[in-house]
A and B are shown apart, each in its own frame.
Chain A
Amino acid sequence: MTINQALEPAIRVLGIEKSFKDLHVLRGVDLEVKVGSIFALLGSNGAGKTTLVKILSTLLKADAGTATVHGIDVAANPGGVREAISLTGQFAAVDEVLTGRENLLLIARLRHLANPGEIADELLNRFSLTEAGDRPASKYSGGMRRRLDIAMSLIGSPPIIFLDEPTTGLDPQARIEVWQTVKQLADGGTTVLLTTQYLDEAEQLADRIAILHQGTIIQNGTLAELKRLLPAATVEYVEKQPSLEDVFLALVGGDAAGGTAPAGRELT
């Protein structure tokens, strides 16, 4: 890594525009993501989140504007960008016919790594899939499939990871598992850009949150900064009721969550 890259943001987006026929999906998006941070792109369905992720991961070309990922221009050097990123798309991109282990081996070999076997076993273990490792991925539950999907994205330790709606369609436990993984990634220095339509997900995970609405970023800041946009909080006394999620997780045994439920929200 050159000094230049160390100082530069992991992702820099300037005036990105993209249209599909007459549909103007992105109308000039600007944002910066700091190295090692978790950045959440929040928006409703059709806001253009996936389009932006596809442009940053070199799957689509922007109509206008520039974007650099890991200091590399996505339009000028897409091959270089691909060396530095990993994409976990909206739908778990695993090979259903292959086993979990074979899926990991496949990606390790495609990344030209020296010891694919060791890498696969290590990731199966880390994502609690060792037991299921020799079963075809088509037999996996939604949560297991997503875990495998994310495990595949970590192979080769790319410095920047894109997660497009990583928890859509997952049950609450699987969701917390994914959150835990994302936090570990950022703790390890990986930059994560994730898109979500769940407000609590952005609140739980992100260092910075950008709200994408009708093709532009309408707000961008830390959670505290975004909260300050509203009038000062008034103090009200409300009986703390457990949320249905708290009840559900307590009943089915929150062990799978590994104590990741946010502090202060445990059922008392």
Chain B
Amino acid sequence: MSTHVLGDTGVLTGRSLRHILRSPDTIITTVVTPIALMLLFVYVLGGAIKTGSDQSYVNYMLPGILLITIASGVAYTAYRLFLDLQGGIFERFQSMPIARSSVLWAHVLTSLAANLVSVAVVIGVALLMGFRTGASVASWLAIAGVLVLFTLALTWIAVIAGLSAKTVDGASAFSYPLIFLPFISSAFVPTDSMPGPVAWFAENQPVTAIVDAIRDLFAQQPTGGGIWTALAWLVAILAVAYAWAATVYRRKIS
């Protein structure tokens, strides 16, 4: 049975990718908010923000916007998983001789694909707004790697929400704090402009480390130890979320 894991995951991923292709509005609603935030920050608030760096403000805030894009995108994963559970198709899959983990992996891979498309759209809009980078291929790959890890970590959190939610609204509510987290980080303003306890939180929460690492990679500046702090956070969150999701799933299907 385990020999079918890849094949079954492929078939089920094809199924949920079709869901996205048939309702592209899930991509549109995912990117609308980050793009609106980007316009607001660059053309309304940005002029008054002193970042203390010589880069343009759109360059400064794009990493944070990308994280917000992903945080709002993963809500659809929880939503789609919840609908599968509600509709009975989940039980049909569970009563069939298919690899059990493939049901979840299909949703995770679909989330990855959908979020990469959303991120590409947002970067496209940022380019129109004057975002420029001299990042090398290696830096782009590093940025892509960080964003993939971030998407996977948040998607597994979405899986926990989708599996344990009682209502549709509950399934996607978990994403609100995740969307909010970049605001209390170095994503839009330098943390040293914040009052003591807030600055302490901002400096020590994962979003700041991730944002700083991506910003340095875009700016072709050495990330120092920053990238390792970011990766450590990402791997830790991913491991905890995955283990938790697997436990919830096991309880659900037995």
Contact = CB atoms under 8 A, between A and B. Distances in A.
B19 interface: yes
Interface residue range, chain B: 20 to 34
Interface residues of A, number: 30
A93 interface: yes
Interface stretch (A108-116, A169-177, A221-229, A246-254): A108-116
Interface in B1-53: 1, 4, 7-8, 11-12, 15, 18-19, 22-23
Nearest to A116: B11
Given A58-B95, A82-B96, A95 B88 contact: no
Given A61-B254, A93-B88, A95-B89, A82 B12 contact: no
Contacts of B4: 112
Interface in A126-150: 136
Contacts of B22: 97, 136
A91 B87 contact: yes
Listed from nearest, the 6 A-B pairs whose CB atoms lie closest are: A93-B88, A93-B92, A87-B95, A82-B97, A91-B88, A109-B11
24 contacts: A59-B91, A59-B253, A61-B254, A79-B97, A82-B96, A86-B96, A87-B91, A87-B95, A89-B88, A89-B92, A91-B87, A93-B91, A95-B15, A95-B89, A97-B22, A98-B15, A98-B18, A106-B15, A107-B92, A110-B96, A110-B98, A112-B4, A112-B7, A152-B92
Interface of A: 54, 57-59, 61, 79, 82-83, 85-87, 89-98, 102, 106-107, 109-112, 136, 152
Interface of B: 1, 4, 7-8, 11-12, 15, 18-19, 22-23, 87-89, 91-98, 253-254
